[in-house]
Amino acid sequence: MAQKKSVVITGVSTGIGWGAVKVLTGKGFHVFGSVRKQADANRLQAEFGDAFTPLIFDVTDGPGVRAGARQVEKALAGATLAGLVNNAGIAVAGPLLYLPVDEWRQQLEVNLTGVVIATQAFAPLLGAGGSQPVKDPGRIVNISSVGGRNANPFMAPYCTTKFGLEGLSESLRRELLPFGVDVVVVAPGAVATPIWDKADETDTARYANTVYAPALERLRTYMLSIGKSGLPPEKIGEAIHTALTAANPKVRYVVSPSPMQVLMTEVLPKRTLDRITGKRLGLLSS
C-alpha cells in the first residue's frame, strides 16, 4: 500500500463517490472511502478488494472523522496522502417560504460543515499545516455542481451549499498556498445517481395548498428524468482523476451532459434566465 498513491473519498456508497472509487482503483490508487453503514463497507470491500479500505463515519461527526484520519495516518506509515475528495452530500428540496428550518440546517451541516470537518481532519496528511513543506503535497478536490453557479427554484438549500462550496474552495486554495496543497472544484451536471431517485420520495403533499404545487410536480418529474439520462458516475470519476493528477490543473472542471445549456446559464442575463425558468415551471404566465 505504501508504494501506491492513496486518496480519501467521502460518501462512496453509491453515485459519484462509487464512480470515483472505481476509476481511481482502476488507475492504481489505493482508496480510503467513507460510508456510514457496515453493510456498505462490506459490499465495497468485496467489490474493490485490497485496493479499497472502508472508513465508517458520518462527515458531520467530528470525532468519527478524526478517528478515520488516524486510521489513514497509521496505514500511510509516514507517506503523504495524495488527495482528499470531499464528495459526501445530500439534496434537500422545497419552497424556501415553507421549508422546515431543521431540513435547511441539515443540508448545510452535511454539505458545508462536513467539508470543513473532513478538510481539517485530513489536511495534515496532505502536507498542510506543518512547519516544513513536504516534498510532494496532496490535493483537495471538492465536488460542487453546475448548481453552484446557477440556482434552480425549490433547490435553494442544495444550491446554497454548492455556491458556498465554490467560495470555500477559492478561499481555501489561497490559504493553502504556503503548503503547495492545491484545491480543485469538480462541478457535475446531471449524473445518473440515486440522489435523483429520491425525488420520487419527496413529500410535496405538504405544499399542496401553496401556489407552488403545480411547479413542484413539474420539477419532480424533471428530476426523475435526469436520473435516467444523466452521465454515468464513472465520467465524474475521470474528472476527479484529472483534478488529482494533472500537472497544471484547472481550478474548476465542469462535467455535464448538456454543455451548451451550462454555457447559456453563464452568458445569459440573470433576468432572462428568471423568465425562462419561470415560464418552464409555470411560475410565470406566458
User: How deeply is 194 buried, as exposed, middle or buried, from its count of CB atoms within 10 A (0-12, 13-18, 19+)?
Assistant: exposed
Q: How is residue 66 written as a grid cell?
A: 478524526
SS3 state at 35: strand
For residues 278 and 241, give the distance between their C-alpha atoms in angstroms, rounded to a whole number.
37
| Residue 73: CB atoms within 10 Å | 16
Comparing C-alpha atoms, which of 63, 62, 66, 41 is closest to residue 109? 62
| Residue 140, strand partner residues | 84, 183
For residues 30 and 5, give the distance between their C-alpha atoms in angstroms, rounded to a whole number.
6
| CA 131, 132, 134, 140 torsion-angle sign | positive
For residues 93 and 159, give the distance between their C-alpha atoms in angstroms, rounded to a whole number.
10
Of 158, 207, 212, 253, which residue is the catalytic one? Answer: 158
The answer to whether the CB of 241 falls within 8 A of the CB of 24 is yes
Annotated active-site residue 158? The verdict is yes
Q: So which residues are the catalytic ones?
A: 158
